[in-house]
Structure 1
Amino acid sequence: MMLRYLATLALLVFGATAVPAHAATIQIVMENLVISPAEVSAKVGDTIEWVNKDVLAHTATAKNSDFDVTIAPKKTVKSVLTKAGTIDYYCRYHPNMKAVLTIAP
């Protein structure tokens, strides 16, 4: 009985450490020609949900060319982060809309 208990306990402990952390979904909103939040921290594997609440189209265009997402008016686009780094990005249509995405490995 005690051996079965210890075996079950060991399985739970070691099994729990083998389970990867779940990826997060992070929402970035474009509204009134502003990107909010302007600074976001995320991890590789996380999903960015780009939400455009404006009546104008926007983009999330990385200055280093890592991504270029177009978001139609009143629409949401999702993208999964695949590369670590600190990325400055902006809207190609409205260059005053700027933000920073820091992606940890």
Structure 2
Amino acid sequence: MQTGGLRPIIVAIVIGATAVPADAATIQIVMENLVISPAAASAKVGDTIEWINKDILAHTATAGNGDFDVTIPPKQTMTLVLKKAGNIAYYCRFHPNMKATLTIAP
């Protein structure tokens, strides 16, 4: 048996196993001047939220229902893959006036 014929099959399996679903999206949410923008965003389970902190202060994206609590250092970006559907109100623990909602479809 030739092993050269197996190489393309093995490569295809490895790529397929690590590929992100074609319909998954990345939703960018910016924190700047103590404001979350957009204040209301929609996504689907499997999508990635990318919080971009443009401020010189640290922020959090803290779900009111406890589903997530992400700390975003100053001038940094943090990501989270959504695993559960629902309507989630979230805020910054350090600056509670910073509020937003995320609607996650199945």
TM range (shorter): 0.7 to 0.9
- Could you say which residue in structure 2 is the equivalent of 1:79? 80
How do 1:4-83 and structure 2 match up within 5 A? 21-83=22-84
SS of 1:59's partner is strand
How far apart, in 1, do the equivalents of 2:100 and 2:82 lie? 16
Give runs of ≥4 in structure 1 deviating > 6 Å: none
Aligned-pair identity (%): 80
Higher helix share: 1
- Could you say which residue in structure 1 is the equivalent of 2:90? 89
Length, aligned pairs only: 86
How far apart, in 2, do the equivalents of 1:101 and 1:22 lie? 18
Structure 2, unmatched stretches of 5+, are: 1-20
Report the TM-score, using the length of structure 2 for normalisation: 0.79
1:43 Cα deviation from its structure 2 partner: 0.1
Report the TM-score, using the length of structure 1 for normalisation: 0.80
CA RMSD of the aligned region, Å? 0.8
1:22 Cα deviation from its structure 2 partner: 1.9
